[in-house]
Structure 1
Amino acid sequence: MLTKKQKQILDFVKKYSAKKGFAPALEEIKKHFRLRSVATIHQHIATLRDKGYLHHQKNQPRSITASETERLIQIPVLGRISAGQPIEAIEDKETIAIPQGKLPLPLKDYYALRVQGDSMVDEGILNEDIVVIKKQQTAENGETVVALLDNYEVTLKKIYREKNGFRLQPANPKFKPIFTRELTVQGKVVSIIRSFDELKDKISKREFTNATIEYLEKADMAYRKLLGQYFTPRSIRDLLISKLPVNIESPKVLDPGCGTGEFLITAKQYFKNPELHGWDIDQNLIGVSKRNVPEAKLKNIDALENENYEQYDFVIGNPPYFEFTPTEMVRKKFKEIIGGRVNIFSLFIYQGIKWLKEGGYLAYIVPPSMNNGAYFSALREFVVKNANIEYLHILNDSKIFAGALQSTMLLVLKKGKNKGDYIFKKNNILIFSKNHRHLTNAFKKKKTLYDLGYSVKTGRLVWNQNRNLLTDNSKEGVPLVWAHNITDDGLKVPTLKAGKPQYVKTNNYDTGPCIVVNRITGSVRSTKLKAGIIPAGMKFIAENHVNVIFPPTRHNSLSMEKLATQLTSKEKIEVLKNITGNTQISKTELERLLPISV
């Protein structure tokens, strides 16, 4: 499949050649498209050659010829589709060129949509990608489909049949599944189109070798996502490796997921006469690494199976990160750190510490979710038991990693006795934080909601599972508190919003007084907590994106009004940023990790 720019270049080569009898030079193509660099044109020509549209002999002038083996057909791009919360379909007039042989006949059975949102990133579907859809009204469990909800909302999700309807499952842990009794399948995804143009602003020759850039251009994004392949720019590698000691002569250095060998290049330049070792499960990447670092000892192996422990002075790299279902053998081997859902990067941290000699250093790029996520609590305990955190720094701009969408973190551990650096512990919950000292000071002469006898519960109504109970008639039900009902000025009920009925028909309700707060707090950089008071005696149910704070049964001197004011104060928001490092606050964090003045 061709991107818009690739199609334009191919058309220009064909027209130029037909008119003048010979092919254009790269400089002429650059001039025609008003591009600054011939290198960019070379990348596009290489891609067109690899896809079979052009023939190009290296180091030969005007040797570009168009292949006539496959005709391009135009697929209509009907609009945008949400890979986040459902949105209304928007029809645009646009087409995209695809080789005819890529799609089985009849071609009228296909259309394309531009993706909006990032709920399907773990399936290799990114924001602004184009997905090619085959029209059909049925789908198997686990297939990615275009689903029509309520006759006007469309969304892109994996479909699963449930006992009472359907589950539309996102491929991003930040998003919750959508449950619905009825939907209409409008087609399933058969291909994803991504342009290398979308990555070129994030990739430069100063950051990567030519071999890595070539791989990024050619490699299928879905395949890279499957193996958790993200490649680290040189500037970030340099920053991380600079935190390691350089006084060890001829250190033994391992990158257990070496990819194209970029980290080994940085290690070669930084350490004194290092002995470089690199492993990767992908044979193709080992081949690229051999081109980049021919002197390294490279192996095509599964790092999680290797038990050659206590051999290395430094373990470095950007290990893969994706959730998976471990086998019994893997679960047994890593039982010390597994709790709930398993992300593969946590196993690389466990292995990395094991591979190190006593006093050795681990330097990884990992997601910051390990700092406070409930599923990583056992991992944090293992780290504290076996190593000291020497350096921790969150990079909030995910765009520095080609194809990645989440925040990342620089982490340096030293194997040996833990000194308590970057650690904060309260109410038997241990978290890692860059500002751990700030958190310690914030809790001086303070209590938590748990200490004061308050309890926090997440809203218990999942609206997609209970559509038949929702109503806009106040006489038919009790108020349903949505996140949008909680404003900067407190609770606003009723608040009319399309598709969000304000009441629910049930006799199973909660009763005030209590405080409701939003569970989704925004981005890491712009965290915001809003609070509203449910008055005494008011019947209500909270929606699942709301946390509810219930007062203690015993007398408490702290009034609801004062508590609500504290929760939304700048001081508490700053603490919240350091506790969660995330876009939402759990009921446990709210109950046990937020300092309250009494």
Structure 2
Amino acid sequence: MAKRRSFSVIEKIKKYAILECMGVVSEIIEKERLSHAVKTTESHKKDFGQYLTPYNIAKYMSSLFPKTKEDLNILDPGAGIGTLSCALLERIKSEKWNNSKVNVTTYEFDKTVLKSLKENLETEGKDFSNYSYQIFGEDFLEKTSFEYSFGTNEQFTHVIMNPPYKKILTKSAAREYTRVFGLETVNLYSAFVGASIAQLKEKGYLVAIVPRSFCNGSYYKPFREFILKNCSIKHIHLFESRNKAFKDESVLQENIIIMLQKETEQSNVDISYSSDAVFSDLQTETFEFGSIVNPSDKEKYLNIPLPSQKNKSVYFENGHDFISLKETGTNVSTGTIVDFRTKDYIRKEPEENTVPLLYPVHFRHFRTDWPKESKKPNAILIADKTAPMFAPAGFYVVVKRFSTKEEQKRIVASLISAEDINTPAFAFENHLNVFHENKKGLPKDIAYGLTVWLNTTFLDEQFRLFSGHTQVNATDLRNLPYPTKPQLVEMGKQLEKYKVWNQQLFDFIAMESINEKRRAVNF
């Protein structure tokens, strides 16, 4: 049985202090949400990809929509108990939008919450003169894709949503439904957002709370392109902590709130930030869109700066100083050894006819620590099956693919020196990203230079602009800015002079090299 989270006395006091500030309906909804969070098993939540929205977040999301007097046709897919719809309705009433007609369409597949959803929508709509609502206890993607393919679907003026989070397989029905809308994607949340965009009216608005994972990586590139093709990005909200948005559910996935407008010209983007889900320290700044999505970036990564970075002297502000990884003559790939597939060839300790098998555990203080006494093996047998997966001995730089959320930096690079390990070849385990030159070792100075650059605070900050999770993929590393080859060589020569390496040294060497080039250009 899944463990249920118990609330401390202090947590309960805080939550009920928040409830006292709410209206009658919103108070009922928040109490229902808290009850659902405690009583519903984790397996049930995961099956439906369902984590109900806290009312404070729903209220903030509803506040993003511009006030209008037009007829409202609102969509709330994955509505749960109706928190988002009701928050928006409550705002419309309190601000007296004076809309002649208000309709709410909700979809919710979990039959255990349909009664609450109906009661909440009915209660919240009593004060409207011309109000209607529909609840569809059906698969949102299946129903709407069918209607969309025949042109019989509704068009909505507003979408407010907390879509389900769950991976979908390539051959699944959900993938087929989503393709009807012209989108290829890998998760229900992006599928729901894509389907909702397709059913928005021209100049209609969508506000969603979604995982930040779509901002980078190759899997979500079609989704990013779909958004940018069909909408303009109006607003993005960041939470400081990974677990603040859905604290009651112990969800660690980092979430953002995003507002889109259908078929409108892209202009500046408002970026807001809060350290918690009650928005007690809300900050908002406006950024040029080009600083969010670089026009020359083929991957269309979303770089989301904190408001505090607007007037800060950003290290990457002069983009012409940097080039792509490919232009340096270097590439990065994932390690080729998947240990469970080669277990018959793996050896605990080095022996005759083996080469070093390098895991993340073999790197410490930015260098290689091999062989090492640990749970991980140290070598792999040379055989017909394994030999094609080896890399010839030389200089390489590796970055772990996974870091823990507690680590200060996401990108930590380590040098492999051919001078330190006497072997004809290396084998790299799959949890490593390996920098190489045409599948061979790097020139020594370039390897040292990359060790400097990849370990800089500046590059880690740049990575965090588009990545909200702890995974570092090879595609992400390729998408980062790099100094020119001569600059990398100079950085490498400087690093070779030092025996002890640390963060301050990497930042100093990199800054000196970049500033030297800028001084030469300005002169």
TM-score, normalised relative to structure 2: 0.70
Kindly indicate whether residue 457 of structure 2 is the aligned counterpart of residue 588 of structure 1.
no
Q: Which has the higher strand share?
A: 1
1:459 partnered with 2:295: no
Q: Is the 8 A contact 1:447 1:595 kept in 2?
A: yes
3-state SS in 2 of match to 1:414: strand
> Which stretch has the larger CA shift, 321-330 or 560-569?
321-330
1:463-542 aligned within 5 A: 463-476=339-352, 477-497=354-374, 499-506=375-382, 508=387, 509-511=390-392, 512-523=394-405, 526-536=408-418, 538=423, 539-542=425-428
What is the rounded CA distance, in whole Å, between the counterparts of 1:193 and 1:457 in structure 2?
39
CA positional deviation for 1:219: 3.2
**1:529 alignment partner AA:** I
Aligned-residue CA RMSD (Å): 3.1
Answering whether residue 447 of structure 2 is matched by residue 545 of structure 1, we say no
- Counterpart of 1:245 in structure 2 is 66
Supply the AA of the counterpart residue of 1:277: T
Partner of 2:454: 567
Q: Is the 8 A contact 1:481 1:541 kept in 2?
A: yes
Q: CA deviation at 1:325?
A: 3.4
| Aligned twin of 1:445 | 321
Structure with greater helix percent = 2
Does the residue aligned with 1:527 lie in a helix, a strand or coil?
A: coil
Q: Give the letter for the 1:467 counterpart.
A: K
> What is the Cα deviation at residue 227 of structure 1?
1.1
Residues of 1 paired with 2:33 and 2:414: CA distance?
52
* Residue 388 (structure 1) shift: 0.6
Asked if structure 2 preserves the Cα contact closer than 8 Å seen for 1:321 and 1:345, the reply is: yes
**Greater Cα shift, 528-537 or 311-320:** 528-537
Higher gyration radius (CA) = 1
Match of 2:162 in 1: 318
Rounded to whole Å, the distance in 2 between the matches of 1:589 and 1:226 is 30
Give the Å deviation of 1:277: 3.0
Aligned partner of 1:347 in structure 2 is: 191
The number of equivalent residue pairs is 405
Letter in 2 for 1:580: S
SS in structure 2 of the partner of residue 359 of structure 1: strand
Q: Please state if 1:435 is matched with 2:288.
A: no
In 1, the alpha carbon distance for the partners of 2:8 and 2:49 equals: 19
Larger RCO (alpha carbons 8 Å, 6+ apart) = 2
1:298 aligns with 2:168: no
1:268 to 60, 64, 89: 89
Matches within 5 A, 1:61-210: 191-197=1-7, 201=11, 204-205=15-16, 206=18, 208-210=29-31
Percentage of matched positions with identical amino acids = 25
- In 2, distance between residues paired with 1:494 and 1:525? 24
> What secondary structure, in the 3-state scheme, does the structure 2 residue paired with 1:493 have?
coil
From 276, 282, 285, give the equivalent of 2:110: 282
Measured in 2, the distance between the counterparts of 1:453 and 1:318 equals 43
Query: How far does residue 387 in structure 1 lie from its aligned partner after superposition?
Result: 0.1
How far did residue 520 of structure 1 move?
Answer: 1.6
Equivalent position amino acid for 1:574 in 2: E
1:371 and 1:415 mapped to 2: Cα distance?
19
SS at match of 2:301: strand
Within 1, Cα distance between the matches of 2:351 and 2:443? 35
Instruction: Provide the secondary structure at the position in 2 that maps to 1:410.
Output: strand
Pick closer, same or farther for the CA change 1:427–1:558 going to 2, 3 Å: farther
Unaligned 5+ runs, structure 2: 20-28, 126-131, 268-288, 488-523
CA separation of 1:415/1:572 partners in 2, compared to 1, >3 Å: closer, same or farther? Answer: same
